[in-house]
């Protein structure tokens, strides 16, 4: 984000337009600030703080990518392999928040965006973490040039 002042400026413009320059940003504004949400999603995609997931055990014999994996085998899902997959996220090493916006500027929730993991072992604090990250990022960018 520090290398993209134009992104910070666009975030500020969205916040100023939607919230006003002197009003506090709250959790109620999250749905009204799609570009800010897209920036947060792109940051979490690029800078995945938990690249390896918790270990899991296969419940049956499976074939993954042509490899046979026996029932009971411990596996460690590697989240970044999805978050950096060029078939899902074209130009995966580039910072492009717009990839998470629809053509009409709404936030697009991409199923493969899984920084909190997926399935039954998904982070139980995901909703709280998303809200806290949103409040932290928007208030930081709004009040400081990073």
pTM given for the model: 0.87
Taking the C-alpha atoms of residue 142 and residue 34, their distance in angstroms, rounded to an integer, is 15
| pLDDT given at position 62 | 93
* pLDDT (tens digit per residue) in 4-49: 999 999 999 999 999 998 888 999 999 999 999 999 999 999 987 7
Question: By residue range, what is the domain housing residue 17?
Answer: 5-143
- C-alpha span between 126 and 73 (Å, rounded): 28
pLDDT tens digit sequence for 53-96 = 778 889 999 998 899 999 999 988 788 888 999 999 999 999 99
The answer to whether 123 is annotated as binding is yes
Give residue 51's pLDDT.
64
- pLDDT at 138 (0 to 100): 96
Q: What was the pLDDT predicted at 96?
A: 97
Instruction: Please give the residue that has the higher pLDDT: either 144 or 48.
Output: 144
Give me the number of domains the chain comprises.
1
CA 54/CA 15 separation, integer angstroms: 37
87-140 per-position pLDDT tens digit: 999 999 999 999 999 999 999 988 888 888 777 777 888 899 999 999 999 999
Q: Residue 65 sits in a domain of what CATH number?
A: 1.10.630.10
In this predicted structure, what is the pLDDT of residue 69? Answer: 94
């Amino acid at each position: 984000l520090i290398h993209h002042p134009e992104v910070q400026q666009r975030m500020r413009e969205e916040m100023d337009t939607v919230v006003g320059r002197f009003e506090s940003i709250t959790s109620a504004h999250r749905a009204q600030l799609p570009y800010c949400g897209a920036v947060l999603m792109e940051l979490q995609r690029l800078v995945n703080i938990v690249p390896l997931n918790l270990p899991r055990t296969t419940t049956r014999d499976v074939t993954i990518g042509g490899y046979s994996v026996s029932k009971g085998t411990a596996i460690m899902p590697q989240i970044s392999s999805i978050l950096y997959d060029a078939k899902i996220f074209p130009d995966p090493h580039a910072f492009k928040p717009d990839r998470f916006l629809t053509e009409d500027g709404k936030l697009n929730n991409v199923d493969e965006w899984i920084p909190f993991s997926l399935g039954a072992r998904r982070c139980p604090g995901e909703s709280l973490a998303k809200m806290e990250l949103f409040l932290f990022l928007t208030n930081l960018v709004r009040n400081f040039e990073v």
